[in-house]
Structure 1
């Protein structure tokens, strides 16, 4: 029973003494006495609350203001020293070699007993890796209870790389709060360019456009709320940094370069498309210019929504906004891309798509079909197909989460915004049949 309940019961007990009625002041005094007594007991008998608060360790340190130059310099220097110390603590790039017979094939293996022996002989930097937890992570199906030395080596190198990269990114964390702003990440990538052999052919005049292209992918997918900053931890957890650092490979295949957003061919392709769309050469895209994007079959209704919801300047789109548009349309299976397109489709800003909003966009598809002389398609049929594909929790509303969970979000959005995409979906069976026939003919030849 807490002090509040004790106090309530005590005050509710009738007075059985000779003076059955007490004055209002006496009741207040008694209430205060009881409150003080029970509150003191509840606080552990501490009479001085200041002493109590002194036992709480300090957990907040105010960031120095802009005009506190010395405090800012002190903070920067202390962070630099701290990061240098953490860097020195990292394991050197030395290969571990120890194997336990019998050797099956050419793969070197080690059991737990010898694993611990190696750990005892290893230096202090290595001890954190020679634990039962690490061994259990790498133990799979070996009948002798051993792990692969090469797998262990790769595990250690990956951990060291993650720590090195985190320290490297932290050097650009001006605020020192564990996240990078857009300008911070731009500086990181700009200084990284000379270390990537696959970008040697880029002209320096293109560097700013390349950096913008690279940074937008990080922020489009890792900053869905558009806060203007990304946690360093999120950067390390995603695969984008791996793709970027893959450009260190001097023998990277042409196919890998084409599929890597950060490669020179990819960045030049995206920027080249932007320049080709910019017919008046003013460095911006109007709605009419953007309508020629891709197969030039997106509906005007959808393009209207793009220019209503996205950041524009005097009704025209800059390169950064264009990059978000491209990333959304080229990655329609990804939740961040679906979130981008869903916001455009949600014309009533209700947080869901209903029959009205689906019809609103599909009517534009029907109009384009008439212009191109294609047979009309009933909206009722398309609407039923969409709801069958998505299977929303509410049979009358499709939420963003419904789209993501269905794994059909890319198909649904394509049907509603792009005539060519709808035609491909509508004739998918015939296209599959033609592909099968063509492959059969090739096999026979």
Structure 2
């Protein structure tokens, strides 16, 4: 096929790195309509097909759903079942060639190949030479690996694939991500499988689902795009934490530490109800002031209600969950992103000395209310900049906070009097707690 010389020249001038388009070409390019009508455009394959609208019920949408379902069924059939996993362990034990003094069973590469030959085709694809090399490099034993490492890798790989397939069932668009409604449907469907939730009444399930989904989106969608990637869900470890609730014999301490557990979810919701003094299902600024130690500054609370979504000036449960997650995880980048937005009063993307002074005024109010010893703002400001070590000595960016490793302390002393006073009197507290250590440090 002979190409139009004008189009060839146009593309050469635009694409070749050593050629720049002339001013005439820039001012008078070939019209797009003429380009599209040219025969050469018929040879360019279409590489993107917009997914059909999920709300429509046409043939194309139904075909896409059916193809997606068949694909997931096929992937499910490729997974190892319990019987195959048990068989793998038995074969590994049978071919282990050495037992260390502490009871570790080791296997060499020749025996590893025998294991590969003895397992099913489905299992064999997990036992690669690359896997052996990676495990051997960190095993600490020359030319050998622990059979538990091989088995645990296989187990984790199967679990991740199961998780991905399970989540993908709710990915109705087949694009590799879940919307909030998709995640809610997934949680609703797996609740019966979570043994630890048997004590939770049915009436609380909707609040429980909201509590669970909010943590996923708080940490995996900090920019509020309204969707999270399935691969991010699996990599985050949050799903594994949620599925720990299948173990009904888990100790009480671990349940209390797990955000998704029944005691934790009931505690968060109970705190919300206790703060709601007028029982209207929402929290006013005055009601939120009682959260935690009740020493958040008035300046900080004002900014929370300025920046966060409210309804007629009051906060709903979903917004409250964001607030709780941010304050309970102040060392995490996602929480710092949330808190920095509140601290950045002028929306400049950085904090200055005047910004710090704006929040320090709230601390001063409580210092006077407690008749405590006054604190110099200049000293505090210098300490904060010393802790952050920002690139610009007059500005603190979000990235500066994340990088410094002292972000939790910096944020806390600006928004909460209790934390501020503990920081100011940290040497006295250390001495009262352990006088001997304090004396040695002196």
| TM score, norm. by length of structure 2 | 0.86
Q: Does 1:119 align with 2:116?
A: yes
Q: Once structures 1 and 2 are overlaid, which stretch shifts more, 253-262 or 110-119?
A: 110-119
What is the root-mean-square deviation in Å for CA atoms of aligned residues? 2.4
**SS in structure 2 at match of 1:226:** coil
Query: How do residues 43-442 of structure 1 correspond to structure 2 at under 5 angstroms?
Result: 49-50=40-41, 52-53=43-44, 56=45, 58-65=46-53, 66-93=55-82, 94-95=85-86, 96=88, 97-98=91-92, 99-105=95-101, 106-139=103-136, 140-437=138-435
What is the CA distance between 1:6 and its match in structure 2? 10
What is the CA distance between 1:131 and its match in structure 2? 1.4
What is the CA distance between 1:68 and its match in structure 2? 4.4
CA distance in 2, matches of 1:188, 1:377: 52
What is the CA distance between 1:191 and its match in structure 2? 1.2
Contact 2:139/2:146, CA 8 A, preserved across alignment: no
Aligned to 2:35: none
Q: Residues 294 and 50 from structure 1, CA distance in 2 versus in 1: closer, same or farther, beyond 3 angstroms?
A: closer
What is the CA distance between 1:321 and its match in structure 2? 0.1
Q: Once structures 1 and 2 are overlaid, which stretch shifts more, 142-151 or 377-386?
A: 142-151
CA distance in 2, matches of 1:407, 1:418: 19
CA distance in 2, matches of 1:432, 1:211: 42
Consecutive unaligned residues of structure 1, counting only runs of 5 or more, are 8-27, 32-46, 441-445
CA distance in 2, matches of 1:225, 1:403: 18
CA distance in 1, matches of 2:282, 2:151: 50
What is the CA distance between 1:118 and its match in structure 2? 1.7
What is the CA distance between 1:213 and its match in structure 2? 0.5
**SS in structure 1 at match of 2:174:** coil
What is the CA distance between 1:278 and its match in structure 2? 0.2
Consecutive unaligned residues of structure 2, counting only runs of 5 or more, are 1-7, 14-23, 26-37
What is the CA distance between 1:439 and its match in structure 2? 10
**SS in structure 2 at match of 1:147:** strand
What is the CA distance between 1:5 and its match in structure 2? 12
Q: Residues 6 and 266 from structure 1, CA distance in 2 versus in 1: closer, same or farther, beyond 3 angstroms?
A: closer
Q: Residues 295 and 6 from structure 1, CA distance in 2 versus in 1: closer, same or farther, beyond 3 angstroms?
A: closer
- Which string of whole-angstrom CA distances, capped at 9 and with x for unpartnered residues, describes residues 116-147 of structure 1? 22212322212222211111121134444111
Q: Residues 6 and 48 from structure 1, CA distance in 2 versus in 1: closer, same or farther, beyond 3 angstroms?
A: closer
